[in-house]
Structure 1
Amino acid sequence: MSVMSKPRWSLLATVALVATLLSGTQAAAQADAPIMDPIPEDPVTSGLGLTVEEVAQFPDSEPTPAPTDPRLMRHARINHLGELPDGSGRQYVPDLNGNLYFLADGGDPYVYLDVKAQFPDFFSGKGMGQGFGFVAFDPRFEHNGTFYTVHTEAGAALQKPTTYPAQPRTQYHGIVTEWIADDPGADVFSGTHREVLRFGFAQQIHGIQQIDFNPTASRHDEDYGLLYVAVGDGGLGVSSTEPQDLSTPHGKILRIDPDGTGSGNGRYGVPASNPFVGKEGALGEIWAYGMRDPHRFSWDPKSPHRMYLGHIGQHAIEAVYEVREGDNLGWSEREGTFRYERGDGCWLYPLPEDDDKYDYVYPVAQYDHNPPPDWDCGDVGRAISGGFVYRGEIPELRGKYLFADLVDGRVFYTESSQMKRGQDPATIHTLMIYDEHGNRVTTPELAGDDRVDLRFGRDAEGEVYLLAKANGKIWKVTGTQRFAGCRTAGTGVGDAMDAGSWAPVTPEKWRFPGREVILAEAGESRPGPRRPFEYAVLTEGGEYGSVRVDAEVRLDTPVAETNRDVVIVFGYRSDTEFYYAHLSTDNSIYPHNGIFKVNNADRERIDDQWNATVSRGAAPAITDADWHDVRVTHCAATGEIAVYVDGARHPLMTAVDTTFGSGRVGFGSFDNIGRLRNLEVSGTRA
């Protein structure tokens, strides 16, 4: 992701920013005003976790030449896992630094082919995708021993002719090579190879990404045995229209027949059914176009020929597209569902009113980068890693499209049934990760690095794997686990609304009319740690270990005030030792709308949803004067805490903390007024 010119601020732009943030919609922004927060809604916390088990550790490898970019200094630059289409159960993993590895029967990885050694001008020391990028095995590999690789070359190789005219000021070549093994069943490659395609790229980014065969195509489908080649824009799309130019391969997905000979170089065929065959000035190899960095694509096994593409954006949008033949994804006129201005390069703009006439295809899911307020138009470390629609044996995952942010390692899903072209993008959910012992972990913890460099793999049974370049490990997804799913049945309290059941900090501020607990007067700051000013502890029922609190709450402070709040207290040990869930209209400052811990010090925010970079937490819990259902679950053994509002399927807030394994529950606020009713508490005795 290249660094473009710095943002240009003006009074007009500032006014437009305020208008956009107030409306929260693209429609409210003027056509010539930039949109500072294209997607205000963050991915939804799902409360569902993937259980993973480590299955392989790859040896350390080094780029050629030695890199200066720390992002290339990885343990092993493994970037995909697949299974050979021969029924042997062997799996393959390419390493950008040069080796093609095989895995068999749960054993250690071994080198099947040293790709780097075959090409004297092999190059992997600059650019995120340089080196041995991908491998695709012919569906008939068992019989013909044929597979294809992508690698990059520099130096003397730049004097070689390219299949198509190279981009100006070419810095490297991307090559597709065909290999034929003498013995398809052998554990080490022996055979021949030939060059199929050679492209020239102007920058060491956005080259040939994935190549693959459609695994859902049967032997009698016209798509069977045709090779798809995803080609990036070489970094030039930010300032040119080349991705829209049908006379070049850059910024396109190509489809070729590697068994044919009808191409310009005579080394492959051009399928007659390709959408631009016979169109004047267009390459017949093009299957779809208008792309910046078409990183990973896959087909849904249940919907043959339905391809999903994870497309890496410029400075704002990471997107999933359902791609069909002839599609134009819009780059560099569009980024996601927004207008891209090449004269700006930093900000996105609303779509024009006459957008329909352009016939661009828009994402079926997308998320944005959320840069910090002082952003200088540089790379903030966001890039999508496309994945798969899961059709394996884990019931909770079936029908979900699993993907990730390859940099920070967040793992996402969308429901494939909601990813529909021409409709609003599907909701994106975040998935938690659990190790084989049931402990919640993060992918940076698994990888041992904040930059995970996460990729996906899939075997012949449809089971999914996670790969990290940071430490060269692979984990298999073995199941799912529900967050805060502990048992809370046991001792309970129901609807304890009388004054004798509560111990308020300041009794005269409270009312107990019979069916409600009312905080009638705002609390005031007290000496000691910063914590809720006023609350009442439920004395009935004693202390709980794992506990679930269900209640209805209402904010009585006028809606016009933005800092309205009530809190649900749990794990209460003393006035300076407890947890609380803060339910607020405001989610833009640290003390509001989150899960907090008071441990003989100022309250500490512990929820997963808080993003300090943009100063934003979970969506506002309560924005009106109505009653709202609230559920808080605290699992003593694991420290998992989940907060649900209005019966939502997914938790609004989550946290993990084991400081207080037991305590009482309560209700209160900082300096607002509100009330509680229909209280039910159930849990295990402390």
Structure 2
Amino acid sequence: MRRKLSWCLLTIAALLLPLLAVPPAAQARDDAPILDPIPDDPAPSGLGVVLQEVAQLPKSKPTGEPTDPRLLRWNRINHVGEVPDHSGRLYVPDLNGNLYLLDKKTRTPHVYLDVAATFAPDFFSQAGLGQGFGFVAFHPDFAKNGKFYTAHVEAGNALKTKTPDLTPQPKTGYHGVIDEWTANDPKAETFSGTHRELLRIGFAGRIHNLQQIDFNPNARPGDADYGKLYMSVGDGGNGNVGDNGGDPQNLGVPQGKILRIDPSGNDSANGKYGIPADNPFAGQAGKVGEIYAYGMRDPHRFSWDTGGTHRMFLAHIGEHEIESIHELYAGANIGWSEREGAFTFRKDDRCHLYPLPADDDKYKYEYPLAAYDHDPPPDWDCRSDTGHAISGGYVYRGAKLPALRGKYLFTDIVDGRLMYTEESEMKHDSTGTNRAQIYQMQAYDTSGKPVTMKELAGDERVDLRYGSDAKGEPYLLAKANGKIWKIVGTKRFASCKAGPARVGHAMDAKNWTPVTPSKWKFPGDQVVLAEAGEERPGPRRPFEYAVLNKGPALTSTRIDAKVRLDTPVSISNRDVIVIFGYQDDTHFYYTHLSSDNTIYPHNGIYLVNGADRLRIDRQWNANRSHGAPPSITDEAWHRVSVTHCAGTGETAVYVDGKSRPVFTAIDKTLGSGRVGFGSFDNIGRLRDLTVRGTPAK
């Protein structure tokens, strides 16, 4: 028997040995679909931006009758920048056809150039979210040479009479066209001059055509990059399957790439522009010499950091799940359509992403520096749009908003979230697992009222994008109502001044009113919940707590204290609560500090308003059933700070002196009340309590 057992143990050891020799990352790789590719959600930053409306652009409509309601907006403005001639004029392209200039002082818009009319009747904007007059880029020497460049889409007769310059996709249905314009007088308020076509590219689909075109703002006269025009070229909407499947990885075609050309040269195949000799594939047989970087689905926006090491960043719109930010350089390959973000994209499964293969290192893909996923609802039809798309964005290096300096600013086009990452944290990682944290910002109007971009745009679909002026100061613009806002300031979330009342030295039993006095101890320097509470009749709410009766009831409130969970870590779902706005046993707010973030009633901010507690914090992800990371996971003392602003309804909760809150919420249901401490069915204690606030009338 012993001999048989020894043989079994040796056999098991032999089987386990290869597994033990495999690195942990490789062990995790298998063929199972990944149901939640990026579990970490954008975190609250505790930072907000103050927005001032500066312009509303005129209504416009596509060239024909679109069947997609997403094209029926106030207009389709998609960028704002400053003309590089020191005039202070802003420019705004509208996909429906007009290029507007905005006066420096009044920001009144007027039509500078009607692109749609110039290329009628072939100009096309009635199908596809990016079709039409996509972008404009002014030459850095515009003030002298009057040159600027546009990207637009053509269909109709152009498909029969004009030929793409680079390999078109099979079944081409649209042409993306780059034109050079030369103004007779660069100072004029309306365009007068000439134009010539530089480049024409054929696309099969109505989406992911030409996107941004631009010049490197860091290049100076004499630099190799000065005057070189970069162009983001989508995959044509079908770059993963079908006749053009694999185009983004095919260096013989332009689709799914960033191209780089010299508008002043003439050594291209059509003789209308130059191919820079320092392009990574210039002069290589079978490869498009114009390619700068590749492996892209919808390379929506790119930018260069004007500080730091002048890196180039791309905001890339994903297919299934991943919205990502990448660093671009000559020859960079971000992986589409073999990869979406840092995950395997399989053409036989339209609904899921998969782990990377064990030999992934050999492909040298440039994985995201930062990314977030879509988190679709459980009943999501994977053939439909989840309503998420990233738009960069740039690293802010301006002078007027020091709180934003060094942050890469970007938005979600659809839902209007304002987000950022720290440029210093955006580092290359060949495994794609070490990404920079993404943070979400609050928006405020100039009165200090918290608002959402959906509210400012007046629509659930915002169609939001960033722009900037020559000094790098940021603007936001929305297709939903055609408005432009300038970011004129920053503001801390829940930054109200809580005072003048101050309550401290309140550890004596006489200062507290517990639900069940026998369960509490007051040793002099602490408030101790010594016995677990029990559920009581009425709405679902904390079982056991004590209310501070010292001092007045407060409106705006600041609570600073240290708390400890005495329930052993071996027990799950441990918690303590900090109460504010307490009016009676069924009307109060509380923040729940828990070791569990996977269930609705834990680890967040809640309102009890005559009914079961309602979660009001912004960190709960209902589709994935998780909230912010667990706020307390041990039995040590932890510093907690809670600020509630009665005027705005903002609440921010900080733990252990961190600069960013763990939870935030906005709710104005209860205008005033008292503070307290307790739990549901655990034990814990509080010390070093200080309460500041505005006395309620």
Q: Considering the TM-score relative to the shorter chain, is it more than 0.5?
A: yes
What is the 5 A alignment of 1:4-83?
29-83=28-82
Aligned counterpart, 2:191 = 189
Structure 1 residues 445, 26: CA separation in 2 closer, same or farther (over 3 Å shift)?
A: farther
Q: Does 1:395 align with 2:397?
A: no
Q: Does 1:300 align with 2:305?
A: yes
Aligned counterpart, 1:244 = 249
What is the 5 A alignment of 1:264-343?
264-303=269-308, 305-343=310-348
User: 1: distance between equivalents of 2:176 and 2:208?
Assistant: 10
User: 1: distance between equivalents of 2:392 and 2:94?
Assistant: 18
User: 1: distance between equivalents of 2:141 and 2:676?
Assistant: 66
User: 2: distance between equivalents of 1:278 and 1:66?
Assistant: 44
Which residue of 219, 222, 225 maps to 2:221? 219
Q: CA deviation at 1:538?
A: 0.9
CA contact (8 A) 1:216 1:304 kept: no
CA contact (8 A) 2:43 2:619 kept: no
Q: CA deviation at 1:621?
A: 1.7
What SS class does the counterpart of residue 133 from structure 2 fall into?
Answer: coil
Q: CA deviation at 1:291?
A: 0.9
When structure 1 is superposed on structure 2, of 68-77 and 495-504 the one drifting more is 495-504
User: 1: distance between equivalents of 2:600 and 2:309?
Assistant: 47
Q: CA deviation at 1:561?
A: 4.0
CA deviation vs aligned residue, 1:167-186 (integer Å, no higher than 9, x gap): 11112111111111121111
Which residue type is aligned with residue 526 of structure 1? R
Aligned counterpart, 2:542 = 532
CA deviation vs aligned residue, 1:498-537 (integer Å, no higher than 9, x gap): 2222101111222223333222232223233322121110
CA contact (8 A) 1:29 1:35 kept: no
Q: CA deviation at 1:683?
A: 2.4
Aligned counterpart, 2:663 = 653
When structure 1 is superposed on structure 2, of 291-300 and 621-630 the one drifting more is 621-630
What SS class does the counterpart of residue 475 from structure 1 fall into?
Answer: strand
When structure 1 is superposed on structure 2, of 530-539 and 110-119 the one drifting more is 530-539
CA deviation vs aligned residue, 1:15-67 (integer Å, no higher than 9, x gap): xxxxxxxxxx9766332122111111111100100011000001111112111
User: 1: distance between equivalents of 2:25 and 2:318?
Assistant: 18
CA deviation vs aligned residue, 1:386-412 (integer Å, no higher than 9, x gap): 111111121111111111111111111
Aligned counterpart, 1:547 = 557
User: 1: distance between equivalents of 2:599 and 2:569?
Assistant: 18
CA deviation vs aligned residue, 1:640-685 (integer Å, no higher than 9, x gap): 1111112221011111222323221101122222222222222233
When structure 1 is superposed on structure 2, of 423-432 and 306-315 the one drifting more is 423-432
CA deviation vs aligned residue, 1:194-234 (integer Å, no higher than 9, x gap): 11111111111111100111111101111111100110111
User: 1: distance between equivalents of 2:485 and 2:585?
Assistant: 44
CA contact (8 A) 1:26 1:350 kept: no
When structure 1 is superposed on structure 2, of 618-627 and 401-410 the one drifting more is 618-627
Structure 1 residues 606, 165: CA separation in 2 closer, same or farther (over 3 Å shift)?
A: same
User: 2: distance between equivalents of 1:497 and 1:27?
Assistant: 54
Mind listing any 5+ residue stretches in structure 1 that lack a counterpart?
1-24
Q: CA deviation at 1:610?
A: 2.3
Q: Does 1:147 align with 2:157?
A: no
CA deviation vs aligned residue, 1:340-386 (integer Å, no higher than 9, x gap): 22222322222223222211111111111111123332321111101
CA contact (8 A) 2:236 2:255 kept: yes
Which residue of 596, 621, 626 maps to 2:636? 626
CA deviation vs aligned residue, 1:140-171 (integer Å, no higher than 9, x gap): 11122111111111121111211122111112
Which residue type is aligned with residue 455 of structure 1? R
What SS class does the counterpart of residue 518 from structure 2 fall into?
Answer: helix
User: 2: distance between equivalents of 1:522 and 1:26?
Assistant: 42
RMSD, matched Cα: 1.7
Q: Does 1:579 align with 2:580?
A: no
Which residue of 630, 635, 645 maps to 1:635? 645
What is the 5 A alignment of 1:550-569?
550-569=560-579
TM-score, reference length from structure 1: 0.94
Q: Does 1:592 align with 2:599?
A: no
When structure 1 is superposed on structure 2, of 241-250 and 656-665 the one drifting more is 656-665
What SS class does the counterpart of residue 133 from structure 1 fall into?
Answer: strand
User: 1: distance between equivalents of 2:459 and 2:74?
Assistant: 11
Mind listing any 5+ residue stretches in structure 2 that lack a counterpart?
1-23
What SS class does the counterpart of residue 157 from structure 2 fall into?
Answer: helix
User: 2: distance between equivalents of 1:482 and 1:142?
Assistant: 40
TM-score, reference length from structure 2: 0.92
CA contact (8 A) 1:26 1:35 kept: no
Which residue of 458, 472, 481 maps to 2:468? 458
Aligned counterpart, 2:110 = 110
Which residue type is aligned with residue 174 of structure 2? Y
What SS class does the counterpart of residue 155 from structure 1 fall into?
Answer: coil
CA contact (8 A) 2:644 2:651 kept: yes
CA contact (8 A) 2:26 2:358 kept: no
Q: Does 1:157 align with 2:158?
A: yes
Which residue of 361, 364, 373 maps to 1:359? 364
CA deviation vs aligned residue, 1:457-515 (integer Å, no higher than 9, x gap): 11011100000000000000001001111223533333522222210111122222333
Aligned counterpart, 2:266 = 261
User: 2: distance between equivalents of 1:137 and 1:685?
Assistant: 57
CA deviation vs aligned residue, 1:243-286 (integer Å, no higher than 9, x gap): 11110001110100111111111111101111111222111111
CA contact (8 A) 1:217 1:304 kept: no
When structure 1 is superposed on structure 2, of 509-518 and 108-117 the one drifting more is 509-518
CA contact (8 A) 2:29 2:357 kept: no
Q: CA deviation at 1:630?
A: 1.3
Q: Does 1:233 align with 2:232?
A: no
Structure 1 residues 168, 466: CA separation in 2 closer, same or farther (over 3 Å shift)?
A: same
Which residue type is aligned with residue 300 of structure 1? D
User: 1: distance between equivalents of 2:659 and 2:230?
Assistant: 39
Aligned counterpart, 1:381 = 387
Which residue type is aligned with residue 232 of structure 1? G
Which residue type is aligned with residue 623 of structure 2? T
